[in-house]
Structure 1
Amino acid sequence: MSTSGKSASGDDAVHMRRAIDLALASMGETWPNPAVGCVLVKDGVVLAEAATAPGGRPHAEEQAVPAAGEAVKGATAYVTLEPCGARSSGRKSCAHFLAEAGVERVVIAALDPSPFASGRGTERLRQSGLTVETGLLAEEAAVLCEGFLHRVETGRPMVRVSHDGKGFDGRFVAAPRADLTTELNRLGEAGYTRLWTQEGELADALREQGLLTE
């Protein structure tokens, strides 16, 4: 784990797992944004917690900080994904929001390669004097943003085989002989990040074309 300042403790892992659980419960509801969990803790007491709202806004940090109130000053924020360092809407970034609120330390599971984070979030936090630590439970948190990162890298939503579609943005439906890449590109432009299909001809066609994640 990459750290600056205090080192991670067992309590850090407990709080990060809670943040991961919060985000997992929101998966499939937050696209085009990834599901993110945030837990605010001070002196061992959980002040507030939140996950990305349906539709992707407000972000988890934007909900947790107001819920904590003035007690947030000097707190530690456990966040499953690097807070954004800029916003496409022009609104205040989550990194700025945390710093302005008086949060003292931010522990992050995974870094965000998207244009609105990509190190800008951690840089803004450090420039504001906050202690920043990254990589805690990164492997456990990876599933939360795998579809989002796949769309950032390829322009297409990730497709996996599932029996019930739980935690996915939606089901991918297409004729097996259709232009599947074009269909997925269209869905990526619409904001979908993680889709599911059942085993069968469509899954086989996706697999043959390298479009199925397994």
Structure 2
Amino acid sequence: MPRKVYCRDPIPVERPTRMEVRDALDQLDRIHDQLTRGEVYRGFRVPTVAMVGAVGLLAAAGQRWAVPNGDARAFVWYWSVIGAAGALLGSGAAVRAYLFREDDFERRRTRRVMGQFLPCVLAGALLTIALARTDGFVPLLPGMWAVVFGLGVVSVRPHLPRAVGLIGLTYVLTGGILLAWLPPEPSGWCVGGVFGAGHLATALALRSTKEHHDD
């Protein structure tokens, strides 16, 4: 006798709505953001940061031969070139890692760090253009550079070792002292000495964190 087969109604499967998919994606974005903030950004390499500091100290020592006494325009051009060279040297490793080694998650973290730091670079460039038009305002530049750069360092402190935040505050305080002091002819050590020592201290902070991570 043939066996009767009864067909049951298919169990309905609920498909996620667009709102639910959007909420899930937003949740993933928040998780990625928390992970990005929780890890130390390693795009800034210790050797390159230390090398930038050494270049700053050497440039401070060599200003007496490269910039004539009292030539404010030559002072601005000299340190603008040194600053651009230091920026290319310091960011070269991060750019190379972004293009060839990092995955999507790491690239997202790099974009976040650079997006927080680049406004201070743009502000420093605009202030340089504005103040360099009048020779009497050139003595303001070393202090302004230190303050603006220090604010940029503080803005990316959540992605770097805690000691970097103190270094950023030191930049700001040193810049304030330079603005209050206002030497008639800014010395090379007001720029190269400040940024050289700051970059060397940053390299030490990054190195100590890297060794702790490796251990």
Structure with the larger RCO, 1 or 2 (CA within 8 Å, 6+ apart): 2
Which has the higher Rg, Structure 1 or Structure 2?
2
TM-score by shorter chain over 0.5 = no
More strand by share: 1
- The TM-score normalised by the length of structure 1 is 0.32
Give the structure with the larger helix fraction. Answer: 2
